[in-house]
Amino acid sequence: MGRSLTHSLLNRYAFVLAIVIGFTLPPTISKAQTERIAQAQEDARLGAESEEQSDINQASYFYNKAANTYWALNDLDNAKTLFNKALQMAIKIGNHNAIYILNTNLGLINAEMSSFKEAIEHFVKAGESAQQLNRRQDFATSMLNQANVLYEIEKYTDALDLLKQAESIAQESNDSKMLRNAYSIFAKVYDKMNMREESANYFNLFAALTRKIQQEEILRKEEEAKQMVSQATSRVREVEAEKQATERELVERDMELVQKQRMLEETEQVTREQLMQIDLLNKERELQQAIISHQNQMRNIYLGVIVLILIFSAYILYSYNEKKKANHLLHQKNVEISRQNVEIHEQAQQLRELNNLKDKLFSIISHDLRSPLGSLITLLNLTQEGYFTEDGFKDVIDELSKNVGYTSELLENLLRWAQSQMQGLKVVPSTFNIREIADDKLKLYEEQAQNKGITLRNQIDPQITAYADSAMIELVFRNLIANAIKFCDKGSVVTTTASHSNGLVMVSVSDTGQGISSENLKKLFGSEIFSTRGTSNEKGTGLGLLLCKDFVSLNGGEIWAKSVEGVGSEFFFTLPVEIE
Tens of pLDDT, residues 217-243:
888 888 887 788 778 677 767 777 787
Task: State the CATH number of the domain containing residue 139.
Answer: 1.25.40.10
Task: Please indicate, yes or no, if residue 566 is contained in any of the structural domains.
Answer: yes
- Compute the Cα dihedral for 539, 541, 542, 547 and give only its sign: negative
Q: What is the pLDDT of residue 391?
A: 65
Domain count, the chain: 3
Amino acid sitting at position 136:
R
Nearest Cα to 467, choosing from 436, 435, 432?
A: 432
Say what the pLDDT of residue 21 is: 32
Average pLDDT over residues 339-349: 80
Question: How high is the pLDDT of residue 117?
Answer: 93
Length of the chain: 580
Which of residues 150, 178, 194 is at a domain's end? 194
- At residue 303, the pLDDT reads 77
Residues 6+ apart with CB under 8 A from 461: 435, 498, 499
Do 135 and 281 share a domain, yes or no? no
Q: Are residues 448 and 564 in the same domain?
A: yes
The verdict on residue 209 lying in a domain is no
Name the 3-class secondary structure at 175.
coil
Q: How far apart are CA 518 and CA 361, in angstroms?
A: 28
pLDDT at position 20: 33
More confident residue, 504 or 217: 504
Residue 496, H or E segment: strand 493-501
pLDDT at 227: 82
Half-sphere exposure of 286 (CA within 13 A, CB side): 6
Same domain for 543 and 483: yes
Q: What CATH number is given to the structural domain containing 448? A: 3.30.565.10
Average pLDDT, the chain: 82
pTM of the full predicted structure?
0.39
**Whole domain around residue 14: which residue ranges?**
3-194
Mean pLDDT of 113-137: 93
Q: What is the CA radius of gyration of the chain?
A: 40
Residue 363 pLDDT exceeds 70 = no
Q: How confident is the model at residue 17 (pLDDT cuts 50, 70, 90)?
A: very low
Asked if the model's pLDDT at residue 432 lies above 90, the reply is yes
